[in-house]
A and B are shown apart, each in its own frame.
Chain A
């Protein structure tokens, strides 16, 4: 079936449908501060209707265009748009795709990470629940561009509703000739499998995700080649986050808008806030400004002590301007890959976890301890530095809380953070020290109160 007939038939079928619009995940009104690219159809499309997607959202016109302009031209478009991977590392998507396309192999795969491995992220839940087809379209464009015939869409196993929606969507796609042999009457053949994947922090590491698909334990591995060259079953494998793929379909549909599609990011605001929400914002907005705009209140009113940005391994950001060079930053830090990295942190899942209670409402040692305890719990146990480091650090932070620690302990803590950074294979271990180090930078007084004065500043 070619694209024109697909559209015609969809139009005919849609006439008989009662559209059920709105995201099946969290429904959010579009805020004035938002700019939606990946989430462009959220709330405007019936996620259960492929016809709605085709007719009202130019659905699969991006794939149609990709098939007509050819593989290299697709990659060139991504390159021109400067699209960076939305999984958190910000690697240039076009480079990754080209590497995979140029890798010689009898078989290639595309893996889509839709796990929401970070506990506070709602990207996959929102996107798959509200607009699964823009992800699926991007997935097919990726498969076409690199030359893969099999895609795996790894969805957090807890997202049952989304998984059901996706499986149904895949059936519809098969009916419409969008999956299987000769897609849209082209030479391109491809299939997609939905894999319900147990969510955990390490599952977000691509080497671990590949292991899961191979039926092995979710452990990150040191890689000597990019997965794009040697990935799943040792074959070239394109691993992309679903947010990236939703942007890809927007780009190819010509719907990304000006100036460039690479300039937004889906973020989730959570923690001590009135409303938890998942929104898409232009890069460059500061953490504080976003928080104020989204929550409709000033930082003071919100009672923010700190914001942990980027997920469980993200650094804390707080009011004021901390000394440069250390880990952690000010709430004025603009949300861009460069600025976040400069603050010793990572874009990661771009979550804003608000620690409330105002500047003195909660002890920063406790804050750091809780962050470390979560990482200890999530450590896969493989790297000595991370496994033992997080455990020892939780223990030492408990000592500080109980005012049993000394300045020498603090020195060892710094050494352990450095050992984790240099001695761990994956991002979890490498960045595990960031919450603690940023807490030290931002709230040194809280630590001093415990270490020297033997009392907790939050309990005054």
Chain B
């Protein structure tokens, strides 16, 4: 900007005060940094100075007129006045001109009280206007995804245009004229998507008025900043999704894996089975389809050499405290892993023959290869977590007697249930969890040719698809919910149907038909409406006269599970039979006993179990005198460039193709059904990311109230 070198410091006088500023700084920032407020609108700390709003005018000795302080560099010995009669008059006229076409009704604007223009108007006390006010009467543009543009509220400060061109290098927004009025629009008036917009949100972020806003309802929760990056904020374990997606894009896969490792010890498992709330919330989904985040996680895990985290994720000095964890599912092992890293001596007790809990004994192998579970458990054992399999804990007292100072109970929800309908105890009527456990243990399972699965969640699909693999030729799935409201994930539903599962939504079973004590079918009524009443009790309206039956030689109930908590644990439980936790301490009703996973939450998801395990580890560590700080920065810190570059065709980039491969003959075939993503596909998929997190790096402008 000037000839002076950037290292040198300049001394100037502002309002009689001696102020020092770096050479090249504008008079505006020299004043603001010195705590002297100068009103300004078009200027933004992340954007090049513009000098168009004329609110930041000042008087400078020896300079004619009123220069805009935002575009005037400081100079040695400069004498600046930020307040005078003449300045006030010029600022007021400038504000009157800005407001001439701006709506008057601030109270009904979404931006009310967060609006820079409103704040400036109050600061300058501009209530009356000498210039004529008018309504622009331009139509609000609601046709683009994510953002709404109201040209009537736009004061043409040019921040969005600069953000689009100069901060992001995208170059989509232009000044356009409609009749006598200006507005900001794409060059040819095409949609943002067609114009090469990257939907980074910088325009909305820098807009000082309510002209460009995020569409209502898209920013969830009270924390606006978190809401802007919903993939991260919706992740129960708070994994930094945009960061690892970016690292995949840059080809640094070990770093991507390290980012995931900072929050969870099961990246690879999650890459297979996470129910990915992040994808549901992904803002790219508003543009076309969400990023295939889970597949990218799997890709990162598959291309991880451990070089960035393995050396750093090692136990702290021993604390000499012993902790027992009951249950080796994702919740238990996660708690064990982090407690071990905190320096405690951790032993996990597992009643079944191998560790993994529902990962191993609930989820069938075609969805999650056993080698993946083994590999991640091996890493947990490698830091010194001891796992005693085939050991059922019946009493917590016994553990305390053995010298454990704390216990984490994470025994899952392994107890399935049947409906209390006639015939439910006939031979051939099975419970889903038991069925899956037997299948996964390799026990002999008697599955007939015609199977009916009752339930509509992921476990029901696991049962149905496992049944197909165990030789069933015809599998019907009946659930209370209508198709749109089935709790199972869309992938499960699609893949299940590809495997020949017939879904019968809106069905309620009234009894099991049987002959000689063996089930022969299920009798149903069609459901008109299924809902929960005010007390949360399920209500079913049936269709009169819709009674019908499906033939079956095997019926599997997959209608929910409960924890199987031994009496000897002596823990307070909720009405639903779950372990009760103290809201604040995370402790159970017994001192030194914490709990995590499905046993606390009811049957949920792997990622929720892991998140719960993390919480239990924090609570336990604090209980044992530790800091409770279990997070470690292991991923390399990367400087993220603000510039994205032009994005022609960006919006149209489609989600990576589904890699589900269903074998022709399912019988006995438990091979994985979703293939790994190739490197090219992964890089391409990651480039689709909108990088919503970049928006958080944009500075906010301080209102005059903070001066």
Contacts and interface: CB of A to CB of B under 8 A. Distances in A.
Interface of A: 215-217, 219, 222, 224, 376, 380-385, 387-389, 391-392, 395-396, 412, 415-416, 419, 422-423, 425
Given A376-B180, A381-B156, A419 B90 contact: yes
Interface stretch (B51-59, B203-211, B504-512): B51-59
B224 interface: no
A423 B175 contact: no
Contacts of A387: 156, 182
Contacts of A396: 132
A392 B97 contact: yes
B131 A384 contact: no
Contacts of A419: 54, 90, 93-94, 97
Nearest to B182: A381
Nearest to A211: B165
B158 interface: yes
B339 interface: no
Contacts of B161: 217
Contacts of A381: 156, 175, 177, 182
A422 B66 contact: yes
B529 interface: no
Interface string B570-583: 00000000000000
Contacts of B180: 376, 391
A14 B237 CA distance: 83
B52 A382 contact: yes
A391 B131 CA distance: 10
B1 interface: yes
A432 B177 CA distance: 19
B22 to A, nearest CB: 15
B2 interface: yes
Given A217-B174, A384-B53, 15 more contacts: A216-B171, A222-B51, A222-B71, A224-B1, A224-B71, A381-B175, A382-B156, A382-B158, A384-B52, A385-B54, A385-B94, A387-B182, A388-B131, A412-B130, A419-B93
Interface in B157-211: 158, 161, 165, 171, 174-175, 177, 180, 182, 187
3 nearest CB pairs, A to B: A388-B97, A381-B182, A422-B65
Main secondary structure of the interface of B (DSSP, over half): loop
Contacts of A376: 180
B132 A384 contact: no
Contacts of B51: 222, 425
Most buried by B among A216, A388, A415: A388
A362 B66 CA distance: 37
B2 A383 contact: no
Contacts, number: 73
Most buried by B among A215, A224, A382: A382
A415 B66 CA distance: 14
B88 to A, nearest CB: 14
Given A381-B182, A382-B156, A415-B93, A388 B100 contact: yes
A344 to B, nearest CB: 15
Nearest to B57: A423
A425 B98 contact: no
A392 B100 CA distance: 9
A393 to B, nearest CB: 10
B73 interface: yes
A60 B73 CA distance: 45
Nearest to A386: B52
Contacts of B66: 422
Interface in B125-170: 130-132, 155-156, 158, 161, 165
A416 B175 CA distance: 22
Contacts of A383: 52
A389 B49 CA distance: 22
A415 to B, nearest CB: 7
Most buried by B among A215, A217, A395, A416: A217
